[in-house]
Protein backbone atom coordinates (compact mmCIF):
# COMPACT_ATOMS: atom_id res chain seq x y z
CA UNK A 1 0.00 0.00 0.00
CA UNK A 2 1.34 3.39 -0.93
CA UNK A 3 2.01 5.85 1.83
CA UNK A 4 -0.54 8.59 1.71
CA UNK A 5 1.19 11.91 2.07
CA UNK A 6 -0.49 14.98 3.42
CA UNK A 7 -1.67 16.95 0.47
CA UNK A 8 -0.46 20.47 0.09
CA UNK A 9 -2.00 23.31 -1.77
CA UNK A 10 -1.14 23.19 -5.45
CA UNK A 11 -0.78 26.96 -5.26
CA UNK A 12 2.36 28.54 -3.86
CA UNK A 13 1.01 31.89 -2.75
CA UNK A 14 4.46 33.36 -2.22
CA UNK A 15 5.05 32.96 -5.95
CA UNK A 16 1.89 34.63 -7.18
CA UNK A 17 2.43 37.99 -8.83
CA UNK A 18 -0.92 39.32 -7.73
CA UNK A 19 -3.90 38.55 -5.54
CA UNK A 20 -6.33 36.14 -7.23
CA UNK A 21 -9.18 38.00 -5.55
CA UNK A 22 -8.51 41.74 -5.78
CA UNK A 23 -5.59 41.58 -8.24
CA UNK A 24 -3.37 43.75 -6.04
CA UNK A 25 0.26 43.39 -6.94
CA UNK A 26 2.02 41.14 -4.44
CA UNK A 27 5.50 41.66 -5.79
CA UNK A 28 7.76 43.42 -3.36
CA UNK A 29 11.47 44.10 -3.66
CA UNK A 30 13.40 41.90 -6.06
CA UNK A 31 15.63 39.27 -4.49
CA UNK A 32 19.30 39.70 -5.46
CA UNK A 33 20.32 37.03 -7.92
CA UNK A 34 22.88 35.46 -5.61
CA UNK A 35 20.25 35.10 -2.87
CA UNK A 36 17.46 33.64 -5.00
CA UNK A 37 18.58 30.10 -4.30
CA UNK A 38 17.96 30.62 -0.59
CA UNK A 39 14.37 31.52 -1.44
CA UNK A 40 13.81 28.49 -3.63
CA UNK A 41 14.46 30.33 -6.86
CA UNK A 42 11.99 33.13 -6.20
CA UNK A 43 12.85 36.38 -7.96
CA UNK A 44 11.08 38.77 -5.66
CA UNK A 45 9.80 39.00 -2.11
CA UNK A 46 6.08 38.57 -1.75
CA UNK A 47 3.77 40.91 0.12
CA UNK A 48 1.43 38.05 0.96
CA UNK A 49 1.14 37.52 4.69
CA UNK A 50 1.69 34.10 6.17
CA UNK A 51 -0.54 33.30 9.13
CA UNK A 52 1.48 31.39 11.64
CA UNK A 53 0.11 28.92 14.14
CA UNK A 54 2.31 28.84 17.22
CA UNK A 55 0.84 25.55 18.45
CA UNK A 56 1.41 23.76 15.17
CA UNK A 57 4.64 25.68 14.53
CA UNK A 58 3.86 26.26 10.89
CA UNK A 59 2.16 28.61 8.48
CA UNK A 60 -1.49 27.62 8.25
CA UNK A 61 -2.85 30.23 5.88
CA UNK A 62 -2.01 33.10 3.53
CA UNK A 63 -3.62 36.50 3.65
CA UNK A 64 -3.76 39.26 1.07
CA UNK A 65 -2.43 42.47 2.67
CA UNK A 66 -4.85 44.56 0.61
CA UNK A 67 -8.25 42.84 0.60
CA UNK A 68 -7.73 40.55 3.59
CA UNK A 69 -8.83 37.44 1.75
CA UNK A 70 -7.40 34.40 3.50
CA UNK A 71 -6.52 31.08 1.92
CA UNK A 72 -5.95 27.79 3.68
CA UNK A 73 -2.36 26.76 3.13
CA UNK A 74 -3.17 23.09 2.67
CA UNK A 75 -6.16 23.31 0.39
CA UNK A 76 -5.61 26.67 -1.31
CA UNK A 77 -9.27 27.45 -0.69
CA UNK A 78 -10.61 30.72 0.65
CA UNK A 79 -11.40 30.52 4.37
CA UNK A 80 -12.96 33.00 6.82
CA UNK A 81 -10.37 35.52 8.04
CA UNK A 82 -8.46 34.22 11.02
CA UNK A 83 -8.04 36.41 14.04
CA UNK A 84 -4.39 37.07 14.72
CA UNK A 85 -3.44 37.12 18.40
Select the residue interacting with Zn ion from 22, 38, 58, 78 (CB under 5 A): 22
Q: Rule CB under 5 A: say whether 67 interacts with Zn ion.
A: yes
Which of the ranges 2-10, 11-19, 35-43, 55-63 carries the binding residues for Zn ion, by CB under 5 A?
11-19
Which of the ranges 4-12, 27-35, 58-66, 73-81 carries the binding residues for Zn ion, by CB under 5 A?
58-66
Minimum CB separation from Zn ion for residue 15, in Å?
Answer: 15
Q: How many C-beta atoms surround the C-beta of residue 3 within 10 A?
A: 4
Cα–Cα distance between 14 and 43 in angstroms, integer?
11
Q: Are 57 and 12 in contact (CB under 8 A)?
A: no
Q: Dihedral sign, CA of 3, 60, 45, 17? A: positive
Residues of this chain that bind Zn ion (CB under 5 A) = 19, 21-22, 24, 64, 66-67
Amino acid sequence: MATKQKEHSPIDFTRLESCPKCEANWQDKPIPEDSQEVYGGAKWFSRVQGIYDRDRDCTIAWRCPDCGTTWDRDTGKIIPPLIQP
